Amino acid sequence: MKLKQEQHPYGEYLSKKTYALIIGSFPIGKFTHPERRSEIKAHEIDFYYGGEGNHLWKLLGKIFQTDLSTKKQIIRFLEENNLSMADVIKSCKRKKGSGNDADLYDIEWNTGLHDFILQNHFKKIYFTSKKVYHWYTKHIGRVEGPEEIILLSPSANGIRAIPKMAEYQEWLKGVDETLEKKTLLFREWFYKKAFKGKK
């Protein structure tokens, strides 16, 4: 498959009432490359974080105790909770169809995101990883005012970095040693803390 410049398919999603903004990097290839759209599975969602390997909507669904398995449900959730969506990358190429942020190149940064944030007076900005926050500060430019919160990556691969975190090691001291899937439970706990008192 010829490598081509892939365009972001969703633009920015602006809720009718603005409170918080979730910023990510760029959707995976099946959503951005026209020749790969046939790869989208029936249970996947053609929207931000809609691939089966991304758990953002599952995490937020658990925290807010709501079903977020369809685009319609997600849009309703975003409106009810005054959450907007955006990514730092406007277009790029990717090595061998990779979904890894490290394999993106010829990047066109979404520089208009700076004014988007200024104009909509967000009180909080959630970044879906440290990498996204780094890109935002370097290529978009921080906006003074909003509280900035760096989340743990919601991707399936993102779970691998958790055991090395000091906060995870501290969290382990207070949980039952017999619990299974501790890293997954820690990420859920982390998201609950991050979104606590959001409204």
- 9-52 pLDDT, tens digit per residue, is 999 999 999 999 999 999 999 999 999 999 999 999 999 999 99
pLDDT above 70: percentage of residues in the chain: 97
Per the structure, how many domains does the chain have? 1
pLDDT band of 2, cuts 50, 70, 90: low
- In terms of residue numbers, what domain contains 55? 6-156
Tokens of 79: 């409106």
Please indicate, yes or no, if residue 72 is contained in any of the structural domains.
yes
Evaluate whether residue 119 is within a structural domain: yes
Q: Is residue 171 part of a domain?
A: no
Number of neighbouring beta carbons within 10 Å of residue 8:
19
The domain that contains 146 carries what CATH number? 3.40.470.10
Average pLDDT over residues 53-79: 97
CA-wise closest residue to 84 among 6, 24, 154, 143: 24
Average pLDDT for residues 111-126, to the nearest whole number?
97
